A and B are shown apart, each in its own frame.
Chain A
Amino acid sequence: MSTEKGVKKLGFDSFFFLFFMLVWSATVSAGDSGWMPQIHGFLQAHAAARLGNVDCAVQTACDWPFNEQRLQLKAEGSGMGGSLGYAAKLDLLHDAALDDSDSDVRELYADYNAEHLTLRAGRQVNTWGVADLLFINDTFPKDWVSFFGGLPLEYLKLGSDALRLDLYPEFADVQILLADFREDRLPDRDRFVLPGPEISAALDEPSDLEASLRVSRYFGSWDGAVYLSRTHYRAPAMSQIAGQWRGEYPRLNAYGASLSGPLGNGVLNFEAGYYDSVRDRDGTDPAVENSQTRLLIGYSRQVAEETTLGFQAYAEWMHDHDAYRRTLPAGVPERDELRTVATLRFTQFHLHQTLRLSLFAFWGVSEGDGYIIPSVRYAFSDNLWGELGANLFVGDRNGQFGSLGDNDNVYATLRYAF
């Protein structure tokens, strides 16, 4: 399976590379002044120290889960009067926590723009939905390791190797996305203290393309969108066959909608989604997620000068909960049929917006846990900013946030942009 996938992946990647080179050479040969890449980027140092006194496993970095220095180079250009364009974002990373060096192509894509359509091919980040740090219709890959370690928000989103077509007919904007599968980056035992025994498993990545569709339009002052995704769960479903653990990424179909508009001096957001767990429609496979319905309502507004407050209420209803309970292996903590989460976001600026105080808090209402992220950021100049913050996991250790309870950390980030 892995060989097959390798061949297929190479084919898809080669297509992107070819398209990218075509666009690049076309923009160069066109003699357009815009083709010359504009180079920007940043140097960034980030470190996080774990709080608490639970001992780390030997040879892990969980006391200092992050100590990294990173150079990001961004290049972009366009030609043919803006009808062709390209962009690249490359990170060169020195990971002192794990004593490793690496490079990461975060984005690399080419654009074609016509009057009623645009095409983007290559590694790209896409963000859908109207929720704030809760995800319903955004089924795209995410990096939770970076997020829980306090890295800047952009590191939560991982790029996908994809082909994206945007159409602009009169009645709506239509976005069609074909993407290679990419898994989420989940907390690992190199940097995190996790409950339960360590399982080593062979992981089978899906080889078929994923397809997503978004249709959006304005209804007066409201933005409405519907979403369809033929995708996979991005966390592996583990099962044991003949004593060997095996991980797969089961198929997922997601259907949803969102609506966003003004209320008072604030913004009201609704988002809903149905997760059709194709592999476990009757809910009897304990390894695979059951189907779910997810609902969210959110409101944010400015409450005082330079001060904004946002609230969200979120519910996740597990379908076929009885079947799930019947087949749940002994000793595994049972999840509720209805999981509810509330969030609070507070942001305040001082000193001509050079100093930012921020708090984001998840409260796991049904699971009795929480996740609190306070931070202070100061911009020393246009080029240099520093941030101090913390990731604090509280409450019931069986909850989704509480299970990370041994990983409270404080972090510091310093970035010089050029």
Chain B
Amino acid sequence: MKCTSLLIILSFACSVAVQTPSFAAAPTANEAVPGLLPSSRISPSVDKIVARSLETFYYAGEDQRTRVSMRLINSQGKERKRVMTLLRKDLGTSGEQRYYIYFHEPSDVKGTAFMVWKYPAREDDRWIFIPAIKLVRRIAADDKRSSFVGSDFTYEDVSGRDLEDETHNLLGEETLGGRPVFKIESAPQAKVEYVRRLSWIDRERGLPLKEEYYDARGELLRTFSADEVREVDGHWTATRRTMHDAQSGHRTEVVFDEVNYDVGLGEDLFSERYLRRPPGQWVR
């Protein structure tokens, strides 16, 4: 029934948060990190690059307010649209985070709101508000590799993965779209649908500019691209991004219509009260 459909459509699995220190400067490919795996001069640097990339992509600032438009386009060019406001707040430096997502469009799900309390060492807590029946319900932790609201992004793509979920290998340095990048190969530790991920990470800004996921037969599954990168409130942000499913031809284009960091979101926003009645100051 409608209730459950929304539970699933909007449920939003978050991976366990990454505990990473902040890095003031970009590491170079040959830089070793004293004290960390002293026997290897490559792996620590690779881990450091990937850790910084995760930090930049998922943990920028103390909090973040974003208005997002998402276009879901199938291989025939038929389009669906999702418009949402996403609020995020980091609690301290432990990796604990709060998320709040309010859906503005399509009109059939307008008013639906979704909340996640994300923890570094255990499963997240998640709730959904279904406006048609004024129901707040706790929802089950979903498979991190499932589609986020029917898009080509997985829940994990939206909320981040652990550094330790994959092993990483630096393949070299090159330029991509005029930017110097590290080219990194990662292999997941667990059995998931991809066995190999290539990523191109901006050497100075730390953002992933492109990612390719391959299956065991070496076939390309999905391609991520950061189509527009801007510096917002001192944080490099991919304000346009696309995930393309190479198998089905389906793709999802995401545009950050508005984004700001360190806006002063209170921890109390992430509660049942605001699930039922969106905070007008932030959700517009």
Residues on A lying within 8 angstroms of B by beta carbon are 34, 40-42, 78, 81-82, 85, 111, 113, 118, 124-127, 130, 132, 152-154, 156-157, 166, 168, 173, 216, 221, 223, 260-262, 265-267, 269, 300-302, 304-306, 308, 345, 347, 349, 352-354, 356, 358, 360, 373, 375, 377, 381-383, 385, 415, 417-418
Interfacial chain B residues near A417, Cβ < 8 Å: 106-108
DSSP majority for the A interface? strand
Task: Give bound CA distance, A168 to B277, whole Å.
Answer: 13
Nearest chain A residue, comparing its CB with the CB of B136: A127
Given contacts A126-B134, A216-B272, 19 further A-B contacts (CB under 8 A): A40-B107, A42-B108, A81-B280, A124-B134, A154-B133, A221-B117, A265-B140, A266-B140, A269-B138, A300-B140, A301-B140, A305-B143, A305-B145, A349-B150, A352-B74, A354-B150, A358-B5, A377-B5, A418-B107
Closest 6 CB pairs of A and B: A82-B280, A353-B150, A154-B132, A382-B106, A417-B108, A153-B1
Interfacial chain B residues near A349, Cβ < 8 Å: 8-9, 150
From known contacts A113-B277, A153-B133, A375-B1, infer whether A305 and B140 are also in contact, taking CB-CB under 8 Å. no
Cβ contacts B3-29/A at 8 Å (1 or 0 each):
111011100000000000000000000
Contact B8 A308 (CB under 8 A): yes
From known contacts A353-B147, A353-B149, infer whether A127 and B133 are also in contact, taking CB-CB under 8 Å. yes
From known contacts A216-B272, A360-B1, infer whether A306 and B106 are also in contact, taking CB-CB under 8 Å. no
Q: Give the Cβ gap from B84 to chain A, nearest Cβ, in Å.
A: 13
Q: 18 interchain pairs (CB within 8 A)?
A: A34-B280, A40-B107, A113-B277, A118-B273, A124-B134, A127-B133, A130-B137, A132-B3, A154-B133, A260-B138, A262-B125, A265-B140, A305-B145, A306-B147, A347-B7, A347-B8, A353-B9, A360-B1
Task: Give bound CA distance, A216 to B106, whole Å.
Answer: 31
Interfacial chain B residues near A418, Cβ < 8 Å: 107
Q: Is B2 an interface residue (CB 8 A)?
A: yes
Q: Is B281 an interface residue (CB 8 A)?
A: yes
Q: Is B161 an interface residue (CB 8 A)?
A: no
- B5, B74, B117, B140 — most chain A CB neighbours (10 Å): B140
Q: Give the Cβ gap from A285 to chain B, nearest Cβ, in Å.
A: 34
Q: How large is the interface on B (under 10, 10 to 19, 20 to 34, 35 or more residues)?
A: 35 or more
Cβ contacts B131-161/A at 8 Å (1 or 0 each):
0111101111111011101110000000000
Contact B143 A302 (CB under 8 A): yes
Q: Give the Cβ gap from A44 to chain B, nearest Cβ, in Å.
A: 11
Contact A267 B133 (CB under 8 A): no
Contact A223 B9 (CB under 8 A): no
Interfacial chain B residues near A132, Cβ < 8 Å: 3
Q: Is B240 an interface residue (CB 8 A)?
A: no
- A34, A302, A385, A418 — most chain B CB neighbours (10 Å): A302
Contact B7 A308 (CB under 8 A): yes
Q: Give the Cβ gap from B125 to chain A, nearest Cβ, in Å.
A: 5
Q: Which of A42, A127, A266, A358 contacts B4 (CB 8 A)?
A: A358
Nearest chain A residue, comparing its CB with the CB of B248: A352
Q: Which of A82, A127, A173, A304 contacts B135 (CB 8 A)?
A: A127
Contact A154 B273 (CB under 8 A): no
Contact A358 B1 (CB under 8 A): yes
Interfacial chain A residues near B149, Cβ < 8 Å: 353
Interfacial chain A residues near B279, Cβ < 8 Å: 82
Contact B277 A118 (CB under 8 A): yes
Contact B108 A382 (CB under 8 A): yes
Task: Give bound CA distance, A349 to B145, whole Å.
Answer: 14
Interfacial chain B residues near A266, Cβ < 8 Å: 140-141
Interfacial chain B residues near A221, Cβ < 8 Å: 117, 125
Task: Give bound CA distance, A296 to B180, whole Å.
Answer: 59
Nearest chain A residue, comparing its CB with the CB of B148: A353
Interfacial chain A residues near B271, Cβ < 8 Å: 173
Task: Give bound CA distance, A266 to B140, whole Å.
Answer: 5
Interfacial chain B residues near A118, Cβ < 8 Å: 273, 277
Task: Give bound CA distance, A34 to B281, whole Å.
Answer: 12
Q: Give the Cβ gap from B41 to chain A, nearest Cβ, in Å.
A: 39
Interfacial chain B residues near A358, Cβ < 8 Å: 1, 4-5
Task: Give bound CA distance, A249 to B226, whole Å.
Answer: 63
- A85, A358, A382 — most chain B CB neighbours (10 Å): A382
Contact A111 B277 (CB under 8 A): yes
Q: Give the Cβ gap from A76 to chain B, nearest Cβ, in Å.
A: 8
B161-183 at interface with A (beta carbon < 8 Å) = none
Q: Is B81 an interface residue (CB 8 A)?
A: yes
Task: Give bound CA distance, A305 to B277, whole Å.
Answer: 31
Q: Which of B132, B135, B145, B147 contacts A352 (CB 8 A)?
A: B147
Task: Give bound CA distance, A260 to B125, whole Å.
Answer: 11
Q: Is B101 an interface residue (CB 8 A)?
A: no
Q: Give the Cβ gap from B126 to chain A, nearest Cβ, in Å.
A: 9
- B74, B135, B143 — most chain A CB neighbours (10 Å): B135
- B1, B277, B281 — most chain A CB neighbours (10 Å): B1
Interfacial chain B residues near A152, Cβ < 8 Å: 1-2, 132
Q: Give the Cβ gap from B143 to chain A, nearest Cβ, in Å.
A: 6
Nearest chain A residue, comparing its CB with the CB of B284: A34
Contact B273 A82 (CB under 8 A): no
Interfacial chain A residues near B106, Cβ < 8 Å: 382-383, 417
Task: Give bound CA distance, A124 to B133, whole Å.
Answer: 10
From known contacts A153-B132, A261-B138, infer whether A352 and B250 are also in contact, taking CB-CB under 8 Å. yes
Interfacial chain A residues near B123, Cβ < 8 Å: 262, 265
